[in-house]
């Protein structure tokens, strides 16, 4: 049995990966998803994984030790830096630990207590998985790591995305010209999206923008909408269990992230034939190219790219077809699961 350990209690990129691993390898291995109680419970229930969930009050060393003593996993698969450090020190070699780094926050490039803590914990880690070369290149102490490192990308299935769109969906009900999907955090930079939307709404390029997601910047976005008289034009949808209906109903997906380990939302939108306009950082630079969207740096770049997409139907159709082809190029769920299963076998 593989015990997945994750710090967050919501559903987003890393959590999506865990669910895909469990579903993709369910015929070959048993799994438990351990995380603090919260919204993730509803999501796991909706996708048929509620029986795999071990809810805890908070992720701590004692909770990890308790789970291992009760469940006897062959491998503990820890997701991101905090869970990896806690698992490493909780187990100290008692059970093999896979550390899976999904993100590249700016502090990983610095002399920082978190980068040093992770380096020290790695003496108890058996294998490191990273979602992109960007994570490997940006972590300050990569050269000092002794255990194997594998760049795995993210598990992705075009059919897995398209099958979750409501077949009876009326696109006009959730329509938007531009769409933001993600946590409302500094990393995802929703306030830049709001400013881009404001410019495009005021000059008449678009008539409706939506934001799907929850997080600590929700109130800031609500205040921005109120202060700029954008009610009914820039709509905050809040957290949704399934964002694919919104993606299927938009024209352009916008990803203004300040950092992005991989960029799964971009591929999800592309699977639904939506061009993506995103930032020049992390994994996004490997996903978005001229065939399927635009890479941008400043707000003006975003505004110009979106105007070009929406003003010229031939350009839009070309990028839309390119987005579909780009998503298919990343359609790797079987290969991904095979690779992970081999690592589990080697360690367990």
Whole-number pLDDT of residue 49? 96
Strand 2-6 and strand 276-279: the pairing is unpaired
Query: Is the pLDDT at 146 greater than 90, yes or no?
Result: yes
Whole-number pLDDT of residue 308? 96
Query: Is the pLDDT at 338 greater than 90, yes or no?
Result: yes
Task: For the chain, give the mean pLDDT.
Answer: 95
Q: What percent of the chain has pLDDT over 70?
A: 100
Q: Give the span between the Cα atoms of 331 and 335, in whole angstroms.
A: 9
- Domain range 2-155+332-347, CATH architecture: 3-Layer(aba) Sandwich (3.40)
Query: Is the pLDDT at 299 greater than 90, yes or no?
Result: yes
Whole-number pLDDT of residue 169? 87
Identify the residue whose tokens are 């010209």: 177
Sequence spans of domains, the chain: 2-155+332-347, 159-329
pLDDT in tens, 250-298: 999 999 999 998 999 999 999 999 999 999 888 899 899 999 999 999 9
**Which of 8-12, 104-108, 303-307 shows the lowest mean pLDDT across its residues?**
8-12
Average pLDDT over residues 80-94: 97
- For residues 321 and 285, the model is more confident at 321
pLDDT in tens, 122-134: 999 999 999 999 9
Which CATH superfamily does the domain covering 159-329 fall into?
A: Glycogen Phosphorylase B; (3.40.50.2000)
Burial of 168 (C-beta count, 10 Å sphere; 0-12/13-18/19+):
exposed
In which band, very low, low, confident or very high, does the pLDDT at 11 lie, cut at 50, 70 and 90? confident
Whole-number pLDDT of residue 283? 86
Strand intervals (E) in the chain = 2-6, 31-36, 53-56, 75-79, 97-101, 127-130, 149-151, 176-181, 209-212, 234-238, 250-255, 276-279, 293-296
φ and ψ at residue 151, rounded to 5 degrees = -85, 115
Whole-number pLDDT of residue 254? 98
In which band, very low, low, confident or very high, does the pLDDT at 180 lie, cut at 50, 70 and 90? very high
Average pLDDT over residues 77-99: 97
Task: For residue 118, give the 3-state DSSP assignment.
Answer: helix
**Which of these, 63, 13, 65, 16, lies nearest to 35 by C-alpha position?**
63
Task: For residue 52, give the 3-state DSSP assignment.
Answer: helix
Whole-number pLDDT of residue 142? 97
Whole-number pLDDT of residue 277? 98
Do the domains 2-155+332-347 and 159-329 sit in the same CATH topology, yes or no?
Answer: yes
Whole-number pLDDT of residue 12? 83
Query: Is the pLDDT at 242 greater than 90, yes or no?
Result: no
Whole-number pLDDT of residue 273? 98
């Amino acid at each position: 049995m593989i015990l997945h350990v994750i710090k967050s209690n919501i559903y987003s990129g890393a959590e999506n990966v865990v669910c895909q691993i469990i579903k993709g390898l369910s015929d070959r291995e048993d799994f438990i998803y351990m995380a603090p109680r919260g919204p993730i419970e509803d999501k796991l229930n909706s996708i048929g994984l509620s029986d795999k969930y071990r809810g805890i009050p908070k992720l701590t060393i004692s909770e990890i030790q308790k789970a291992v003593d009760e469940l006897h996993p062959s491998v503990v698969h820890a997701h991101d830096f905090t869970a990896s450090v806690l698992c490493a020190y909780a187990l100290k070699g008692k059970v093999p630990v896979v550390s899976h780094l999904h993100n590249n926050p700016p502090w990983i490039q610095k002399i920082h207590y978190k980068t040093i803590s992770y380096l020290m914990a790695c003496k108890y880690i058996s294998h490191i998985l990273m979602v992109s070369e960007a994570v490997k290149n940006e972590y300050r102490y990569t050269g000092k790591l002794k255990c194997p490192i594998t760049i795995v990308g993210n598990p992705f299935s075009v059919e897995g995305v398209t099958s979750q769109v409501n077949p009876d969906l009326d696109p006009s009900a959730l329509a938007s010209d531009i769409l933001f999907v993600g946590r409302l955090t500094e990393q995802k930079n929703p306030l830049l999206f709001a400013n881009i939307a404001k410019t495009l709404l005021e000059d008449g390029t678009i008539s409706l923008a939506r934001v799907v997601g929850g997080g600590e910047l929700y109130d800031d976005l609500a205040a921005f909408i109120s202060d700029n008289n954008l009610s009914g034009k820039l709509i905050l949808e809040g957290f949704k269990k399934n964002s694919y209906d919104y993606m299927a109903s938009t024209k352009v997906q916008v990803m203004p992230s300040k950092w992005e380990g991989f960029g799964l939302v971009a591929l999800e939108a592309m699977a639904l034939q939506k061009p993506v306009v995103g930032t020049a950082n992390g994994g996004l630079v490997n996903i978005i190219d001229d065939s399927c969207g635009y890479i941008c740096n400043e707000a003006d770049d975003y505004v110009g790219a979106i105007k070009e997409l929406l003003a010229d139907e031939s350009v839009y159709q070309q990028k839309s077809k390119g987005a579909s082809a780009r998503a298919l190029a990343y359609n790797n769920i079987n290969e991904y699961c095979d690779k992970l299963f081999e690592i589990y076998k080697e360690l367990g």
